[in-house]
Amino acid sequence: MPENTPASTAPFKHAVVTGASSGIGAATVRKLRSEGWSVVAVARRAERLEALAAETGAVPFAADVTIDDDVAALAAFVAGNGGLDTLINIAGGARGADPMATANNDDWEWMFQVNVLGTMKMVRAFLPALRAHGHGTILNLTSSAALAPYEGGGGYNAAKFGQKAITGALRLEEAEHNIRVIEVVPGLVQTDEFALNRLGGDPAAAAKVYEGVAEPLVAEDVADVVSYAVGLPHHINLDEIVIRPVAQAANHKLIRRL
């Protein structure tokens, strides 16, 4: 077989989805399962994964994408249970909204670990299987925080800029292996946990993030876009998809109708 000839023409219906215990990750699992995909749902919180599995029929696997042994165990499990052709890296998040003058080491380190190193570790672990399949897809969920910095966002900006950079490098490196690399870039998305986790568990502060925004995006909106992108014929690569609510014309322009 010539070096660049795809090894397989199997349909693209076997996905691993990280960050599956809540928000966009859980919505993505639900969407893919409704469209007939086989899904391994990955997150740290096993009890949430079990509930999602009971609801959707997805296969749960509790793992922390920042821990090498967890990622290796996940890769071995997937290899022994039908393999994959699509890796969807949703796991990520923000912690803190402090200016640089009072930046918190722990917050910054966590954001780099989960957004950048977690994505790298998942990609590294599954690239051999995706290359062997011959028609692999990797989708990384970044953020509009990767497009423009903003006050109080330095740590999250840096982490998402980093994740965006590795996504671009990966696309260049893996095209010769017939692996398409997709980046979905959401703006303001109202979920149960993102703002709450970022703002130290303060419900009032989290609510203010979305206050007055008539129709922010919700997790299901982003899941629809993810599903569309990975469901297209494999020769179509949506390199970068920016998705925002109409009320958010740019990172710095958000219409609030109080």
Q: Output helix, strand, coil percentages for the chain, rounded to the nearest 5.
A: 45, 15, 35
User: What is d(CA 46, CA 82) in angstroms, rounded to the nearest whole number?
Assistant: 22
Between the alpha carbon of residue 201 and those of residues 29, 99, 194, 196, the distances in Å are 25, 19, 10, 5
- For residue 9, the one-letter residue type is T
Kindly state the tokens that stand for 126.
Answer: 């599954």
User: What is d(CA 83, CA 78) in angstroms, rounded to the nearest whole number?
Assistant: 5
What's the CA angle centered on 220, arms 82 and 207, to 5 degrees? 130
HSE-CB of 95 using CA atoms within 13 angstroms: 14
Secondary structure element (H or E) that encloses residue 17, with its range:
strand 14-17
Q: What is the CA radius of gyration of the chain?
A: 18
Contact 166, 120 (CB under 8 A): yes
**Which residues are known catalytic residues?**
156
Instruction: List the alpha helices (DSSP H) in 190-232.
Output: 194-198, 203-210, 219-231
Between the alpha carbon of residue 49 and those of residues 14, 18, 35, 214, the distances in Å are 18, 11, 19, 31
